[in-house]
């Protein structure tokens, strides 16, 4: 494969198409520490991970053989960080699943599809032992979080599910695959049980939730032999959908003193920027908003701090752009790919170690569509030509994030002070020294935009050392509302059946004394 290296001026002429005399240019000076600041946070190799809806799990994994598209898409990310994304299998259908000795893999009952929800979740899922052993088809080194049903308030079923999970991971075929069970989660979004019918609506409080959870989770950990929170297998706690119940509250109520609570290593909360459950009109321009990204994440800071004070790890165990499978014209667009970069990296700077972006079959916000689809993800109408497995624009955001994370597993991250309202910046440090940086311009340039595409010119002011040269790779997007035709470092990941890149790699040489340009709706990764 050829590697093309261009000067900054050549790239501007060839790729950016920005005429210096006509461009609307804003110049911003960005302080960049050469040495890692004390406030730097660890960059987990699995920072960007995935949550999979439990009902269609076999479609993701494959049954008699691995799903090659899933495997390739995950391996492509693993090649960047040295570690496959973690997978959490659960979510809404976690609390609608029962284990049966008479079922081999799974039997699902789905409600009718409609224009708002073309691919609804199953209302009933019955699984057998083979269902869990399908993890053997994942990339080696994949670490798993598996959900167990709390919603049905059936201790026997929860224990049977946990036993089946443990049985699967003890199979020689699974052990030889290198896929690892890391955590079990008992219940999904229990704070919503009063509204979804899983608990009485009139008196479901966090004070009732804690002993309720313990009554199911305690037998689960006792049965499968989990005794503490520093072993190879632990529990993931909370998994709340909103601030109705909080980790701080369950800590104060003594959950960590229970048999199951003592095995909690990780606290999970869920977050979406909005919800499309009943349809509606969501604006892409307002979604691509630097201030909103920060506002949607900083609400968790008190819970993050409380989690670490108890010696536990904090994750967003389910997240994505717009809840209820995404909003058309927002979640499936190139703008969402840029949002993924800013959202994920800002989260990492405030102590969120991993973000599990939720995926289903045919969901609008999917990074990966792993099977052929016969109806539209936008309105449920039949497709004249079925859509084969493919990636969507957010996958490009994952490529950029994982390129910043790097492959050492030891990088640290800090947000840079970029005073432009639309532009964010993050620096990654290896062994305490500046190694890489990402800048993302969230100014939405859409198909309806007129005039000259705005440009931000960034001058980097280095402190504690001198850096003069860098190479740059760009996420190039024609319009924020495009649903395809993005390129990362000159390459497309949309053209092949195994997510392999096509096109020649484009890398710029950047003279940092001159600074560099970043167009509206674009991101760039610098390597120093």
Q: What is the largest CA-CA distance in the chain?
A: 72
DSSP label at residue 325: T
Q: What is the pTM (predicted TM-score) of this model?
A: 0.95
- Label residues 172-209 b or e (16+ Cβ within 10 Å = b): eebeebebbbbbbbbbbbbbbbbeeebbeeeebebeeb
Give backbone dihedrals phi and psi of 340, rounded to 5 degrees, phi first.
Answer: -55, -40
Per-residue pLDDT of the chain (528 residues; tens, 9 = 90+): 334 344 443 344 344 443 433 568 999 999 999 999 999 999 999 999 999 999 999 999 999 999 999 999 999 999 999 999 999 999 999 999 999 999 999 999 999 999 999 999 999 999 999 999 999 999 999 999 999 999 999 999 999 999 999 999 999 999 999 999 999 999 999 999 999 999 999 999 999 999 999 999 999 999 999 999 999 999 999 999 999 999 999 999 999 999 999 999 999 999 999 999 999 999 999 999 999 999 999 999 999 999 999 999 999 999 999 999 999 999 999 999 999 999 999 999 999 999 999 999 999 999 999 999 999 999 999 999 999 999 999 999 999 999 999 999 999 999 999 999 999 999 999 999 999 999 999 999 999 999 999 999 999 999 999 999 999 999 999 999 999 999 999 999 999 999 999 999 999 999 999 999 999 999 999 999
What's the rounded Cα separation, in Å, for the pair 83 and 3?
Answer: 25
CA 56 to CA 504: how far, in whole Å? 36
- Name residue 391's beta-bridge partners: 368
Domains of the chain, first to last? 44-276+314-327+354-369 (3.20.20.80)
* Contact predicate 331/364, CB 8 Å: yes
Q: Quote the CA–CA distance of 27 and 13 in Å, as a whole number.
A: 19
Give the span between the Cα atoms of 428 and 314, in whole angstroms: 20
In this structure, what DSSP letter does residue 113 have? Answer: P
Quote the distance between the C-alpha of residue 18 and its chain's center.
Answer: 33
Residue 189 Rama label (left phi>0; alpha psi -120 to 50; beta)? left
Q: How far apart are CA 316 and CA 297, in angstroms?
A: 10
């Amino acid at each position: 494969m050829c590697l093309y290296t261009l000067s900054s001026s050549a790239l501007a002429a060839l790729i950016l198409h920005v005429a210096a005399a006509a461009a609307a240019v804003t110049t911003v000076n960005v302080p960049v520490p050469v040495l890692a600041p004390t406030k730097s946070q660890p960059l987990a190799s699995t920072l960007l991970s995935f949550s999979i809806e439990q009902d269609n799990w076999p479609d993701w994994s494959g049954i008699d053989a691995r799903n090659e598209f899933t495997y390739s898409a995950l391996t492509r990310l693993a090649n960047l960080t040295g570690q496959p994304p973690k997978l959490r299998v659960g979510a809404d259908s976690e609390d609608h699943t029962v284990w049966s000795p008479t079922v081999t893999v799974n039997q699902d009952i789905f409600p009718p599809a409609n224009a708002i929800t073309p691919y609804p979740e199953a209302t009933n899922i019955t699984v057998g032992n083979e269902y869990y052993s399908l993890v053997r088809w994942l990339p080696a080194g994949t670490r798993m979080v598996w959900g167990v049903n709390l919603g049905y308030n059936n201790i026997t079923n929860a224990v049977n599910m946990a036993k089946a999970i443990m049985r699967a991971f003890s199979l020689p075929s699974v052990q030889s695959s290198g896929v690892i069970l890391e955590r079990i989660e008992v219940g999904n979004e229990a704070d919503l049980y009063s509204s979804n019918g899983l608990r009485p609506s009139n008196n479901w409080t966090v004070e009732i939730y804690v002993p309720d959870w313990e009554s199911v989770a305690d037998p689960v950990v006792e049965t499968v032999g989990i005794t503490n929170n520093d072993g190879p297998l632990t529990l993931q706690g909370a998994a709340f959908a909103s601030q109705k119940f909080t980790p701080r509250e369950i800590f104060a109520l003594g959950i960590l003193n229970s048999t199951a609570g003592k095995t909690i290593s990780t606290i999970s909360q869920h977050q979406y920027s909005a919800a499309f459950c009943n349809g509606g009109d969501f604006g892409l321009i307002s979604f691509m908003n630097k201030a909103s990204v920060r506002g949607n994440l900083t609400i968790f800071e008190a819970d993050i701090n409380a989690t670490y004070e108890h010696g536990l790890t904090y994750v967003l165990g389910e997240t994505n752009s717009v809840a209820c499978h995404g909003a058309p014209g927002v979640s499936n667009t190139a703008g969402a790919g840029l949002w993924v970069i800013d959202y994920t990296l800002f989260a990492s700077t405030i102590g969120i170690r991993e973000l599990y972006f939720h995926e289903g079959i045919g969901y609008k916000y999917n990074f990966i569509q792993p099977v052929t689809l016969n109806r539209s993800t936008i309105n449920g109408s039949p497709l004249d030509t079925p859509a084969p497995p493919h990636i969507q624009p957010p996958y490009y955001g994952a490529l950029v994030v994982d390129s910043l994370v790097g492959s050492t597993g030891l990088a640290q991250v800090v947000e840079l002070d970029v005073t432009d309202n639309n532009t964010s910046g993050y620096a990654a440090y290896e062994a305490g020294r500046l190694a890489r940086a990402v800048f993302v311009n969230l100014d939405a340039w859409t198909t309806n935009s007129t005039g000259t595409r705005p440009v931000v010119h960034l001058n980097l002011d280095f402190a504690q050392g001198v850096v003069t040269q860098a190479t740059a790779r760009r996420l190039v997007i024609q319009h924020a509302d495009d649903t395809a035709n993005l390129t990362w470092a000159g390459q497309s990941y949309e053209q092949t059946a195994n997510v392999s890149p096509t096109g020649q790699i484009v890398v710029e040489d950047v003279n940092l004394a001159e600074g560099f340009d970043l167009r509206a709706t674009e991101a760039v990764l610098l390597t120093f």
